[in-house]
Structures are given as C-alpha cells and as structure tokens.
C-alpha cells in the first residue's frame, strides 16, 4: 500500500491537484507516526491491515468534522473534509452495500453460533478479520446487536 500512496502522490503532483497531494501526505504522515510508535514499542512496521484501520479512522474523523462544520454553517470547510474523505476512500477496498453488510453479519452470527449479546465480541472480531476496510464496523455492530437481540 505504501507504494500505492507514493505513486498516487507523484501523479497528484504532476496534475497539480493540491487537495489530493495534501491528503496523501496526511495519510503518509499518519502511517509514519504509527511506524514510529510501533518501533518505540518494539513492534514491526505497520501492515496493510493496520493501514486500512488508519484510513478508516481518518475517514471517521473527517466525517465528524464535516458534520460539525455544517452545523456551524461553514459549508466550504465541510466540503473540504468530504473531498478528503473521497480521496482516502480511493485507497480502500470497495465498500460493501448495506444489504451485503447485513448478509455478512447474519452469516457470521450463524457460523459462530452466537446466541446472545455476550457473543457480540466474537462476531465483531470475525467480521473485522474478514472484511477489514470494506465496511463501517460501527454500523455492522448495530446490525449484529439487532440480530443477537432477537435470538
């Protein structure tokens, strides 16, 4: 993934796409920060799965910021945050539709034999290992909770 960031940065620089350049540099900085933190803790550099989590967190932060800007009637800043979200999403795998998320949650609940809310963690761990970067796990959590609640 690091090479993908580097090549995308080169393309954005050539195209003089300042928003894309700054967003990719933010991504690279976040990955480098995590690498440094891992090195200090004696861990390996971040893996592609870790990068997916970093990207997911960056998207969530920007969506929250955009919402705050909209509430404060700062629409130009909200638009900027949403543009960054769109750029970050280009590095993530295709997101599952709401219907596919529901089906995946149903399948995991059945496969794990989950029978109540106490099995929530087991279901979420299975989803995170299979669908890293492909779904919003906070939404998936609500779906799983709904499925387990009816058990």
Residue 99 contacts residue 137 (beta carbons within 8 Å): no
Enumerate the CATH 1.10.10.410 domain ranges in the chain, comma separated: 98-149
Confidence bin at 8 (pLDDT 50/70/90): very high
More confident residue, 78 or 110: 78
SS3 content of the chain, % helix, strand, coil (to 5): 75, 0, 25
Residue 53 class from Cβ within 10 Å (0-12 exposed, 13-18 middle, 19+ buried)? middle
Phi and psi at residue 92, to the nearest 5°? -95, 155
As a whole number, mean pLDDT of residues 130-146 equals: 83
> Could you give the CA distance from residue 120 to residue 22 in angstroms, rounded to a whole number?
38
Domain 2-89 in CATH 3.20.20.140? The answer is no
CATH architecture label of 98-149: Orthogonal Bundle (1.10)
Q: Judge whether residue 151 has pLDDT over 70.
A: no
Tell me which residue of 120, 119, 122, 62 sits closest to 86, measured CA to CA: 62
Enumerate the CATH 1.10.1510.10 domain ranges in the chain, comma separated: 2-89
């Amino acid at each position: 993934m690091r090479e993908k960031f580097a090549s995308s940065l080169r393309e954005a620089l050539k195209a003089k796409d300042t928003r894309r350049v700054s967003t990719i540099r933010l991504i690279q900085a976040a990955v480098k920060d995590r690498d440094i933190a891992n090195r200090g803790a004696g861990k390996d550099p971040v893996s592609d799965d870790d990068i997916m989590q970093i990207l997911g967190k960056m998207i969530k932060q920007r969506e929250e910021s955009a919402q705050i800007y909209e509430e404060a009637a700062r629409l130009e800043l909200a638009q900027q945050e949403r543009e960054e979200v769109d750029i970050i999403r280009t590095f993530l795998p295709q997101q599952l539709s709401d219907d596919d998320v529901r089906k995946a949650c149903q399948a995991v609940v059945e496969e794990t034999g989950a029978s109540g809310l106490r099995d929530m963690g087991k279901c979420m761990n299975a989803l995170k290992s299979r669908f890293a970067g492909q779904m919003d796990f906070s939404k998936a959590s609500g779906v799983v909770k709904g499925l387990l609640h009816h058990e």
